[in-house]
Amino acid sequence: MKTVLYLDMNIYNRPFDDQSQVKIRMETMAINALLKLIKGKKYTMLLSFMLDYENSLNPCEDVRMKIEMMSRLATEHIDLTDDILITARSMALKGIKPRDAMHLACADNGQASWFITCDDKLVKKGRFMDGNFNIVNPVDFIRSEVK
């Protein structure tokens, strides 16, 4: 059985951030390694309507197009359903930001094993959430999963 990953939008954007900060550079290196592993079919990647929506808001056309190309590695697309809305509302009531809650609900709906994000606050909150997937930073994912 393949390990299913849901990558938060900040994962797709991280390679386009200022790489002069060590943390950002390390996350970018981990993301590039992760994308190679997904391309090599070691992991399966989910895409969602929420990722599509957030990417459509990107004012930089070049970056938006590159993110669309990266997202083509996904093998499944999660569409909006009533179940996703119910799950997202429940998470929002527990203090998760609405967009983050939608992403988490999409990951849950797509039966992700891992939710990968550069949002340190969301990683911390994820430790206290009930769920069928782990929430982790890309560097920590590479350290723990890739052998």
Q: What is the CATH number of the domain that holds 31?
A: 3.40.50.1010
* Average pLDDT of the chain to the nearest whole number: 93
At 22, the pLDDT band (50, 70, 90 cuts) reads: very high
Split at pLDDT 50, 70, 90, the class of 1 is low
Write down the pTM of the prediction.
0.93
Kind and range of the H or E run holding 72: none
Q: Is the pLDDT of residue 41 over 80?
A: yes
Report how many domains make up the chain.
1
pLDDT at position 146: 67
pLDDT in tens, 80-117: 999 999 999 999 998 899 999 999 999 999 999 999 99
The whole-number average pLDDT for the span 60-88 is 96
Find the helix or strand (DSSP H, E) in which 120 lies.
helix 120-126
CA distance 75 to 62: 23
The yes-or-no verdict on residue 128 having pLDDT over 70 is no
Domain housing 102? 3-145
- Which residues pair with residue 100 across a beta bridge? none
70, two tokens: 């990266």
